[in-house]
Structure 1
Amino acid sequence: MDGECFQPTRWSLVQQAADDDDEISLRAWRELCRLYRPAIEAMAHRLARRYRLDASWADDAGQEILLKLPRIARGAHAKRVQASEQDSERPGGADGFRFRAYVATTIHNALKDALRARGRQVPLVAEHGGGDPDDPVELVEHVAWARCAIRQALDAMKGECERTGRADIWGIFAARIVDPILNGRPQVPYDELVAAHGLASTIRAHSLLQTAKRTYVRHLKETIGMTLSDPRTIDDEIRDLAATLASSSARSAPADRRPIETTTVPDGVMPCP
């Protein structure tokens, strides 16, 4: 199952969005919009709050970026092909490219245009996400992506549990991890979970929680893997995701002061969106 999810990588979807065939491009564009809309909108609104722009600017910028996705895809695909041709053996090579970095660059450009139009100072932003990860604007991009990936993974996990009749797995995971981190609720005691799900013992509840953590990590890896060319880089991406949220929590951005907590789970991280 894990192998199958990496077959149609998101870079192949990007290639389709750049296709000259209008039907193929339109179909890919719709899928890209579905995948990237949450992160695009989140990033636009965070930048708007940080730089004191109206929420209407964020709404308009997000819609504009979505409409530009095919053009962004053509540019990103061309640069990736060029990198592959120049040095296919270079560490990272073409696989070091991330489509979300190109999308983020377009949002950054829209931000700079908006600030210039208002006679305000424009932040320095490296092209295609290759800049300093401690830069405030660069950090916003990574945090937006991390939050989006986590939410997609949680939605996928919950959907799987519903389809397979495993309300116990999702219920225990939600009660012990998701709700306390996302909603600030106290953890439900294990004896209450035993009664709620008709379990034989608290040992069984503990076991199901471990199963739930593994299920979440699988979905997180699948979610992240679909945006990467090389599945071998997934663990590195997850470590970056954890570091990004830890950095964001430490910096406590002025426009969003709620700290972001993290709880380590097997082979991955359970950050708070």
Structure 2
Amino acid sequence: MTTSRLDARSIEGDTPAQRLLALLEVIAEKDQYFTLQSLVDETGMPKPTLHRMLQQLENSGMLQREADNRHYSKGTRLRRLAETLLLNDTVQGARHAVLAELVREVGESCNITALAGAEVLYLDRVETSAPLRFYLHPGSRVPAHCSASGKLFLAQMSPAQRRRLLAEVPLSSFTRNTITDIKALEIEIEQVRQQGYAFDDEEFLPGLLCIAVLAPNPSGVSNVGLAIQAPIMRMDRQRALECLPVLERAAAAIAQINQGAVPDSMDDLEIDKQEIQQLGG
């Protein structure tokens, strides 16, 4: 029996909508038909609850019942959703192409990140072909205080914002280089703010060095970081700084892609007016 990456607890969720989405994630991983009982065994959820959820998904066209009336498969609407998503996901495709080209130029793994709460979230990643590398897949999260991108995100905040965030987050130690003292971290962040780039010098994983910049945002604060990661036996700080110009060019290219994906402000204003009229405003 295939074991899902989602456990029963995550399937339960906080709302009915979250539970349905979590169940769809489990179903999307399957390459065979499945039954109600197989999902009960896999998720540990009550059979009546799962039966009701499957009925909802079937009625909406996300799932369909097979000829034997016992097995389910992906419905036409779910397949169309997946196809439409891939067809129209040109922003992600363009950013991934920039990331892949950066990896080709520098020869090391690179990733695109964003700040999510007090953590850095990996939005996309391309691995180097070199035999020695660190695997950090998209969706991975790293504490901001020991991440090169995280320091850049923190450096954009006002001192009050930063204090408020860090006051609720333990500055956990992951290596002997992790900065766990708030005053030392503030000194590091100020330096990052002035120089416009940041290092993770074996602060999260032993033997891993990272240099990061932000994708510039004309509107102000950026929530997109771009980073190079490499084993210290192949990259030290000086070598990382030599890669900085190509890293900054790639960040500028990603910023241009992001800006091109934002609808024209006048279009947004017209849509807002239409929505207000529909609501009777």
TM-score by length of 1: 0.26
Larger RCO: 1 or 2 (CA < 8 Å, sep 6+): 1
Name whichever structure is richer in strand by fraction. Answer: 2
Name whichever structure is richer in helix by fraction. Answer: 1
Q: Report the structure number with the largest CA radius of gyration.
A: 2
